[in-house]
Structure 1
Amino acid sequence: MSARNILVINCGSSSIKFALVNEAQTTFPLQGLAERLGSPEAVIHWQFGDVKETLSLPGADHQVALGEILPLAQEAAGGRLSGIGHRVVHGGEHFTDARLIDESVIEGIRTSAQLAPLHNPAHLIGIAATMSLFPDLPQVSVFDTAFHQTMPPHAYRYAVPEFLYKEHGVRRYGFHGTSHRYVSKRAAEMAGLPVEDSAWLSAHLGNGCSTCAIVNGESRDTSMGLTPLEGLVMGTRSGDVDPNLHSYLERTLGWTIEQVDRMLNNDSGLKGLSGLSNDMRTLSEACLSGHPGAVLAFEVFCYRLAKSLAGMACALPRLNGLIFTGGIGENSAAVRERTVEHLKLFGFQLDAEANARCTRGLAGEIQAAGSPRVIVVPTNEERQIALDTLALLDA
């Protein structure tokens, strides 16, 4: 049987990230991004093999963009597209694994939209468009939150009145589950350990950041909560703040709850601390020239990350190693070094040369002799979504 092709789609509110995944190939035959959808600047960028292309689509919405993307995927797949896998940010408590999309799944995604108002409605638009264009093609939803449904109640419950949980779903859900799941499996393989007998601390670091405690291939705790705002310092998100900050800013500045939410999600994190940028590459360069805001943002980011990882260790019966992944985790040797310095009680030490070498997609162990494992594992959420889709098709 020839190797199968899965188109992976990740719809944002004004964007579509897409990749064609062939189960026998390590690289993607096709990948790209449609962005600024719904505006006069709407455009699709894609790479087909070694060729990069751009198509301007002024005013295009998701359906119009997908009408261009799907034929590209069919061409790249040689007309043999086996299915479509959709990334869905929030599955609430409805979904503990990937699901073949039908009306009940669509309703579950819609019900969870109140927990992810910027994400789930966009996913539904993408699902509706692909089902309209390819009604006979199997389609699967893979949920960011599903991996964390193995957390015990003492990890996912907030200390608030029970009716808020029972009637309104107020609890910790966690995100980046597809990434944490993928890299913990790869780390176990790299270490020569069975996934079902391993325990890891995982740090997914990008514009969004989260940590996770993973035992025997299952999530036991994670830093994000009801929404992706909880937890670590991120590119533009504050992470944890005093819950009374909202009322304080309302009393002192007259801010509305919408203004506070916008500030915490869009104007905080690395961007807010540095006053310069939400990009760690820019901040790292600025740190070298002594920019005070950049130095502060870097130090707060690394300290809060180490503090979260130390807390996650409470969920582990043992520790096989620490994993760094995501754009920052895979490429910033300085962030890895500074974070590990804060975790001295765990005995972590890095090999400076190995740490400096692991960038630009290079995986490897970077610990010094005698230290517990520290592993850089490039994430591949698209491949994991494709594997989940194939597993459902096989079932």
Structure 2
Amino acid sequence: MTQRLVLVINCGSSSIKFALRREGDSAALLSGLAERLGSDQATLQWKTASALEETLLEDGEHGSAMAALLPLIEQHAGQPLSAVGHRVVHGGEHFTQAQLIDNKVIAAISANADLAPLHNPANLTGIQAAMAVFPDIPHVAIFDTAFHQSMPAYAYRYAIPEALYREHAIRRYGFHGTSHQYVTHRASLLSGHAPGRGAWLSAHLGNGCSSCAVLDGRSLDTSMGLTPLEGLVMGTRSGDVDPNLHAHLGRTLGWDLPRIEQLLNRESGLLGLSGLTNDMRQLEAAADDDHEGAKLAIEVFCYRLARSLLGLCAALPRLDGLLFTGGIGENSAKIRARTVEHMGAMGLKLDEAANNGHARGEAVAIHAKGSPTIWVIPTDEERQIADESLALLDH
């Protein structure tokens, strides 16, 4: 039987990430990035197992990027696509699972734009451009927030008047759902549990970071909230701050809301603490050279992560394991080690050799003997999106 193909699209305001995935395969047949869209420097870059290539895009728009992608897909697919799977950041309370995209779904994604103004409009642009190029193929929306719709009300409600929730949908939603879902499912298989079973703490650490408590494949709580700003310290996002900081900055510095949003989303986190960079690799090198800001940024990052993970234990009846994923989680032995040091109350302890010797791209256990399980598991959000897209077609 011919294995089906899915084109996975992750569209931002000035970029389109894509991957061509064959059902059951662990690696993409083709992947790439169209970036600097909307400018005269827009490019389309793509890679296969044997080559990396790039071309300029003449008008630099999303539609032209999709049109340039079409012959590449035809060249490498060798058969028709079965589906196009789209990452959509915010599904609000409308969506708890993947959805075939129709006019109602498009309207709902648009309606949630106020909750993710930097993401949902861009996601819609990608959907519309892809549907114009691939009009006869099913298009599927996979929502970052859908996995977290299993959270109980006591985990997702803010302690604010009910009317704000009922009339304006102000609540905690959570993000990185496809990543947390993928790595916890992998952890269940790697640990010898039944597929999808187990009680896990998952830490997705990249430029954006979130933690999640997952029991038997269901998200019970997570660190991000109404927006991706809540929770952990991130590359340029502050994570949790005193909610009255906005009023304080307005009164004392005369800042308006756009300026404060810029501060908390673009100028804070690792960048703000270090005064140097949001790149953890550069921060670790600077800390080794005794840069005080870099050392402080790393310490705050790890402590706040550990505190969040320990707090999420309240959602679980037991702990079967701690999982690290994302660019930082997969590649920084120092961050893993310092975070676990802060979690000694849970009996967690690393095997130093396993932690330091972890090879990039591999799933490996790094816990010491007698410690609860600790795994490094590379995430594969594109594969999760492809799998969910095909699963929807089968129902």
2:269 corresponds in structure 1 to 269
Aligned partners of 1:169, 1:75: CA distance in 2, in Å? 45
Aligned to 2:242, the other structure's residue is in SS state: coil
Q: Which range moved further: 381-390 or 78-87?
A: 78-87
2:381 corresponds in structure 1 to 381
1:95 corresponds in structure 2 to 95
Taking a change above 3 Å as real, the CA distance of residues 174 and 280 of structure 1, as seen in their structure-2 partners, is same
Aligned partners of 1:186, 1:161: CA distance in 2, in Å? 39
TM score, norm. by length of structure 1:
0.99
Aligned partners of 1:325, 1:105: CA distance in 2, in Å? 31
Maintained 8 Å contact 1:83/1:139: yes
Aligned to 1:183, the other structure's residue is in SS state: helix
Identity %: 61
Aligned partners of 2:334, 2:291: CA distance in 1, in Å? 16
Aligned partners of 2:30, 2:182: CA distance in 1, in Å? 21
Maintained 8 Å contact 1:332/1:359: no
Aligned to 2:200, the other structure's residue is in SS state: strand
Deviation of 1:362 after TM superposition, in Å, equals 1.6
Maintained 8 Å contact 1:96/1:149: yes
Deviation of 1:210 after TM superposition, in Å, equals 0.2
1:235 corresponds in structure 2 to 235
Maintained 8 Å contact 1:205/1:325: yes
Aligned to 2:297, the other structure's residue is in SS state: helix
2:313 corresponds in structure 1 to 313
CA-to-aligned-CA distance 1:279-326 (integer Å, 9 cap, x gap)? 100001111111001000000000000000000000000110000000
CA-to-aligned-CA distance 1:313-342 (integer Å, 9 cap, x gap)? 000001100000000000000000000000
Deviation of 1:70 after TM superposition, in Å, equals 2.5
CA-to-aligned-CA distance 1:65-113 (integer Å, 9 cap, x gap)? 1111122122211132111000000000000000011111111101111
2:160 corresponds in structure 1 to 160
Aligned amino acid, residue 9 of structure 1:
I
Aligned partners of 1:175, 1:8: CA distance in 2, in Å? 18
1:219 to 2:211 alignment? no
Aligned amino acid, residue 227 of structure 1:
T
Deviation of 1:394 after TM superposition, in Å, equals 1.5
Deviation of 1:359 after TM superposition, in Å, equals 3.8
CA-to-aligned-CA distance 1:196-221 (integer Å, 9 cap, x gap)? 54100000000000000000110000
1:64 corresponds in structure 2 to 64
1:207 corresponds in structure 2 to 207
Aligned partners of 2:108, 2:42: CA distance in 1, in Å? 30
2:142 corresponds in structure 1 to 142
Aligned partners of 2:216, 2:48: CA distance in 1, in Å? 38
Aligned partners of 2:294, 2:59: CA distance in 1, in Å? 38
1:116 corresponds in structure 2 to 116
Aligned partners of 1:71, 1:197: CA distance in 2, in Å? 41
Aligned to 1:163, the other structure's residue is in SS state: helix
1:187 corresponds in structure 2 to 187
Segments ≥4 residues shifted beyond 3 Å: none
1:55 corresponds in structure 2 to 55
CA-to-aligned-CA distance 1:161-205 (integer Å, 9 cap, x gap)? 111100001000000000000000000100001245410000000
Aligned amino acid, residue 281 of structure 2:
R
Aligned amino acid, residue 259 of structure 1:
R
**Paired positions, count:** 395
CA-to-aligned-CA distance 1:19-58 (integer Å, 9 cap, x gap)? 0011132211100011110012111111033111111125
1:17 corresponds in structure 2 to 17
2:3 corresponds in structure 1 to 3
Aligned partners of 1:180, 1:30: CA distance in 2, in Å? 24
1:260 to 2:251 alignment? no
Aligned amino acid, residue 26 of structure 1:
S
Aligned partners of 2:150, 2:22: CA distance in 1, in Å? 30
2:84 corresponds in structure 1 to 84
Q: Which range moved further: 95-104 or 56-65?
A: 56-65
Aligned to 2:225, the other structure's residue is in SS state: coil
Maintained 8 Å contact 2:3/2:22: yes
Maintained 8 Å contact 1:149/1:173: yes
**Where in structure 1 are there 5+ consecutive unaligned residues?**
none
Maintained 8 Å contact 1:82/1:137: yes
Aligned amino acid, residue 67 of structure 1:
A
Aligned partners of 1:358, 1:6: CA distance in 2, in Å? 31
**Where in structure 2 are there 5+ consecutive unaligned residues?**
none
Aligned partners of 1:370, 1:103: CA distance in 2, in Å? 54
Aligned partners of 1:376, 1:383: CA distance in 2, in Å? 18
Aligned partners of 1:49, 1:376: CA distance in 2, in Å? 24
Aligned partners of 1:128, 1:200: CA distance in 2, in Å? 37
Aligned to 1:81, the other structure's residue is in SS state: coil
Aligned to 2:47, the other structure's residue is in SS state: strand
Structure 2 counterparts to residues 238-249 of structure 1, below 5 A: 238-249=238-249
Maintained 8 Å contact 1:330/1:359: no
Maintained 8 Å contact 2:275/2:293: yes
